[in-house]
Amino acid sequence: MENLELRPLSLGEILDRTFSVYRRHFLLFAGIAAIPHLLVLAVQLLQIFLKAAPVPAAPPVTQQLQASGALLGLGFLLGILGLIVYVVAMLLSTGATVFAVSELYLGRAITIGEALRRMRGELGALFGVLVLSGMAIMAGFVLLVIPGIYLLCRFAVSVPAALLEDLGPRSALERSYGLTKDFAKRAFLIYVLYFVLIFAAASLFQWPFLYGLTLSRNDPAMVRVWSALMQVGGFIAGILVTPVMTIATSLFYYDLRVRKEAFDLQVMMKAAGGSAALGGGVPSMLS
């Protein structure tokens, strides 16, 4: 892929580049999203079929209590396992997408495996970024919602900052807060687009199965089938839509760096073999 022109972009140009990059490298981004989440889907399907497993007709009371307790215990363990698997899958796919966007944006090729391998040793830092930002945003939502939305927008590029500049959670949030100064509105519109796409994908891939589930609520076998189809639909919707948000925020990160730190000139100097130091937290892959 040739280098994309590094220059200040309008919001429309950021979104246009987002869909252009996604479309031209669809298999790459869909694969990065799908591979980690396949295990999530497997756990979700297992939970559905175990939860809906029929109890033998009129067993002795003691056996029935033991069976119910075993199922509850197994369901609880699967719930904890599902949460852990989901968080790890989300961190892997998000971080690998950021690395893939960065490589492509700077004119280098990358594979699904290479992008996922780049996340070695990065899960803890990225988890810290999401937990710390989530706590701050939730506190903002408690304070009459508006502060929460504002913080969500100001922390929009904390993940690219953490991964591409090798920053800790607190430093990544501070970096994002500084970069997005005067540009929170753009982040807000990117989030609006993402939620519109999520709504559209859910209506296409999940809601028809929800309707079938409602009609079949008295048939346990069909409840299992429709529930499983809902999870598969959610999986498809997720791998189609989620990369859009990560690509957009990664490009937004680069646009802010170009605007505020002349990142385009730094890249040109590096490519020309300039000896001047590249300041401002240039991503390590440029070294």
Domain ranges of the chain: 11-55+67-122+185-271
Structure tokens at 275: 């000896």
Per-residue pLDDT at 117:
95
Question: What single string gives the DSSP state of each residue in 81-149?
Answer: HHHHHHHHHHHHHHHHHHHHHHHHHTT----HHHHHHTTTTTHHHHHHHHHHHHHHHHHHHHTTSHHHH
Question: Residue 279, SS3?
Answer: coil
Of 130, 36, 30, nearest in space to 92 by CA? 36
In this structure, what token pair is assigned to residue 49?
Answer: 């079929």
Residue 72 has what pLDDT?
Answer: 63
pLDDT of 176: 96
The tokens for 192 are 């609006």
Tens-place pLDDT, residues 56-68? 545 555 544 554 5
Please report the pLDDT score of residue 107 as a whole number: 82
Six token digits for residue 137: 């945003």
Token pair in block for residue 214:
């409602």
pTM of the model: 0.83
Residues of the chain with pLDDT under 70: 1-6, 52-75, 263-287
Task: State residue 81's pLDDT score.
Answer: 83
User: What is the structure's pLDDT at 281?
Assistant: 46
Query: Is there a contact between 74 and 43 (Cβ–Cβ < 8 Å)?
Result: no
User: pLDDT value at position 243?
Assistant: 95
193-214 pLDDT, tens digit each:
999 999 999 999 998 998 888 8
